[in-house]
Structure 1
Amino acid sequence: MAMQVNWAGNLTYSAARVHRPVSVEELQGVVARSLRIRALGTRHSFNEVGDTPAELVELGGLAPVVEVDSDRARVRVGGGLRYADVGRYIDERGFALGNLGSLPHISVAGACATGTHGSGVGNANLSAAVAGIELVTAEGDLVTLRRGDEGFDGAVVGLGALGVVVALELDLVPSFQVRQRVYEALPLDVLFPKFQEIVSSAYSVSLFTDWRGPVINQVWVKRRDGEAVVPIPAEPADGPRHPVPGMSPDSCTEQSDIPGPWFERLPHFRPDRIPSAGDELQSEFMIDASDAVAALSALDTIRDHIHPVLRICEIRTIAADRLWLSPCYERDTVAIHFTWIADTPAVLPAVARIEEALEPFAPRPHWAKIFTTPPDTLRPRYTRLPDFQALANALDPSGKFRNPFTDKYLFA
């Protein structure tokens, strides 16, 4: 077996075998015969959530299913596809996904399984668009759960612990155009009194800071074409920008306020280029939106511990959802994301300091990124965890899809 490493190169998967079935039927047989197995997506996880010492299965060999149902405004997407694989197809049929993450390189199934998101006070995370989920369960059965079914709200953000997702049905909206503009040098003392106003000023707003000083380096404003222009108390950038200081903006999406299709503007990065910094680690912590200013103020007091190992920090907003293991479960959320240098021993002390500073706000870490929160601290922050455990026991009584990560955080 060729060595399997994650996107960042900080994790080598420990699986004894990797399967690549070419049909759902073959996948069902692989799962049925395995004692322990996990699905492997685009390897964009920075921790062991997708790892297993047993067997892994990749879905890239399955047929690339993208089926738009115009009457129901839904799209059925195969489990092996990335957002970059489906955007144009959906747009050509007059529809759009309501939001996208920063990177179109990530798989739809993996992003939804871990609660990944974009930005916008009115936009829930990517998982909230899921209206149906098709799973190969422990005995090799193909099971479909739809919104409203018992257990559906627990299955969408499932961390791969319920089965192998072979397809998802996603809600669509009418296609739309987006204009993107970047502003620079927004002092924190200007941001804080107007925080809600600024993050609500457009369809999607992202704030970037390197924590070198009390200032937001860049404000990325993505407004729907025709949406009113709300003034931002910062200077417009005089050209394209990359979020990471000093990096070329060639890999970034168009920022000149020229309208373009949603799938070319909502992500920060182009699908044909290396996303973000490339050579990096990532952490992210979600807090109640009402605590945003207090939490950012707390981080400002420890910026000297953050900046030396940081590439960039991004602050985004996400609407609440009802998915049991979503970090945005039942609370409008502000997500504070850290892109680190690729040096785990140097980064972990900074992560611990951040977790300590954010502790009063009960942060929920992104399931697929680097965190050190103890399981006993994290579990009570998910009030539906007992219901998820019951669902997992019903769908996977032998624990075929569990791994050391899920055992530690979900089932111990």
Structure 2
Amino acid sequence: MTGRNWAGNYAYHAPLIARPASRQELQELVAGADRVKALGSRHSFNDIADTEGTLAVLDLLDESISVDALNMTVTVSAGTRYGTLAAELNRQGFALHNLASLPHISVAGAVATATHGSGDANGNLATAVAGLEMVTADGGMLSARRGDAYFEGMVVALGALGIVTSLTLDIEPAFQVSQRVYEGLAWDEVLENFDEVTSSAYSVSLFTDWSGAAVQQAWFKSRAGDQRHGGGSSGFLGAVPATEARHPLPGVSGRNCTHQLGVPGPWSDRLAHFRMEFTPSKGDELQSEYLIPREHATDALRTMRSLSDMVTPLLLIGEIRTIAADQLWLSPNYDRDGIGLHFTWRQDQPAVQAVLPLLEAELAPFIARPHWGKLFDARAAAIRPMYPRLGDFMALAESLDPFGKFRNRFLERTVFGA
């Protein structure tokens, strides 16, 4: 028995679990396995990381963080958590371009599923990948670097090509960030001034349950020296600044969130929503997310508001973020700037699973690509037309893993199936 995921909604079915103590042991494990997958920080809400064979947990492998200041990159072991990496980079005077809302997730898992932060000009976390190393189906090692053939198909790979052991990421000089939360931003203002709202800070998140006349909270994360409005202490389009730290969930203390109230501090303590030293709640939430082209933003938001009667009773909170386009084949932002519609659901999986096909049908006109690591209903037949390079990815997987060693039920259902 290999336990459950972070949220407790999924029990892994793999009959075997292994903890290789070295890269060589991992290579031998993969070479001898019929089916194998890597299991990271267990923050996915579906069966993407499960297998009918052996789950390889890499927590015994050496954790390494190696900065190359000349080339402005960092090479990090795959299982390292972003919070650990961010703290060490900041200590050495460097930074990543962005962080997701949780710093507790592993680098390899977040990259493989195109997990993201927010910001009109900020690509998802996988866009920082300049190189990677992985164990392939025959137990060999494959290295790839940006610019290599097929590299853009290897980064967001859903674990279908091999087990990633290390990644090289772009870095930049460390920077300061101040974070402010505004409350009561009217929906009319959001819809009429969407571009102004999302461009008002380096990273913007809007929290809503889709009911009522206003967005409950707007989180503005501003880089030092940025003159955009998100760094100011006055109101914003009628919304008022919070006077104490806020949590995205109404009525929950903000003490476990990253520093707010406009106090400047390290990027590593501001770009995520939650502090690394705080372990988020377990067993009381589910998550879904859909990525939509930027040009459909306001229409999609109007559609979501019209679905409030269906969605709001199941929600703890929703979040709206923006993400820049990229060229990674299976990234939900492949070839398009987009917005993310994120749903943090109450822990009622039957009810959530029942509403997802209805929600996806309403969002279908906007070419809504689901987040690979969260709950969704769409199958391969619906997903395939959304990704122009998915056929190329399938061919790449066939060439690297001809016997389907790294495939599982998730991949057959969402990528390789009919």
TM-score tier, shorter chain, comes to over 0.9
1:408 maps to 413
TM-score by structure 1 length? 0.98
Matched residue, 1:311: 316
Determine whether 1:236 maps to 2:216. no
Identity, in percent, stands at 52
Spell out the pairing of 1:25-104 with structure 2 (5 A cutoff): 25-104=24-103
Partner SS, residue 49 of structure 1: coil
**What are the residue-to-residue correspondences of 1:4-43 with 2, within 5 Å?**
4-43=3-42
Q: Tell me how far apart the structure 1 counterparts of residues 225 and 136 of structure 2 sit (CA, whole Å).
A: 46
Establish whether residue 344 from structure 1 lines up as the match of residue 349 from structure 2.
yes
Pairing 1:231-380 to 2, within 5 Å after superposition = 232-233=236-237, 234-275=239-280, 279-380=284-385
Verify the 8 A CA contact 1:117 1:124 in the aligned structure 2.
Answer: yes
User: Does the CA-based 8 Å contact 2:156-2:330 persist in structure 1?
Assistant: yes
**Does the 8 Å contact 1:244/1:277 carry over to 2?**
no
Shift of 1:275: 2.6
- The answer for the alignment partner of 2:232 in structure 1 is none
Q: Provide Cα deviations, 1:361-405, integer angstroms capped at 9, x if missing partner.
A: 010000010111232111110110111011111111111000011
Q: Does 1:164 align with 2:158?
A: no
Deviation of 1:330 after TM superposition, in Å, equals: 0.2
Cα distance in 1 between the residues matched to 2:93 and 2:251: 38
3-state SS of the aligned residue for 2:166? strand
Deviation at 1:214, TM superposition (A): 3.2
When structure 1 is superposed on structure 2, of 127-136 and 276-285 the one drifting more is 276-285
Letter in 2 for 1:352: P
Paired residue secondary structure (1:205): strand
Q: 1 CA distance for matches of 2:50 and 2:186?
A: 41
Q: Secondary structure at the match of 1:324?
A: coil
Amino acid at match of 1:283: S
Please list every run of 5 or more consecutive structure 2 residues that lacks an aligned counterpart in the other structure: 230-234
Q: 2: distance between equivalents of 1:268 and 1:4?
A: 27
Alpha-carbon distance between aligned partners in 1 of 2:353 and 2:20, rounded to the nearest angstrom:
37
Q: Which ranges of structure 1 fall in alignment gaps of 5 or more residues?
A: none
| C-alpha contact (below 8 Å) 2:8/2:283 kept by paired residues | no
What do the CA deviations read for 1:195-254 (whole angstroms, capped 9, x no partner)? 011100110000000123132100000000111141621110121110011212121001
* TM-score of the pair, normalised by structure 2: 0.96
Aligned length: 411
Q: Secondary structure, in 3 states, of the residue corresponding to 2:193? A: helix
Q: State yes or no: 1:130 paired with 2:129.
A: yes
Question: Aligned partners of 1:244 and 1:276: how far apart in 2?
Answer: 12
More moved, 114-123 vs 351-360: 351-360
Match of 1:390 in 2: 395
SS at match of 1:50: coil
Q: CA deviation at 1:15?
A: 0.4
Higher deviation after alignment, 75-84 or 367-376: 367-376
Q: SS of 1:48's equivalent?
A: coil
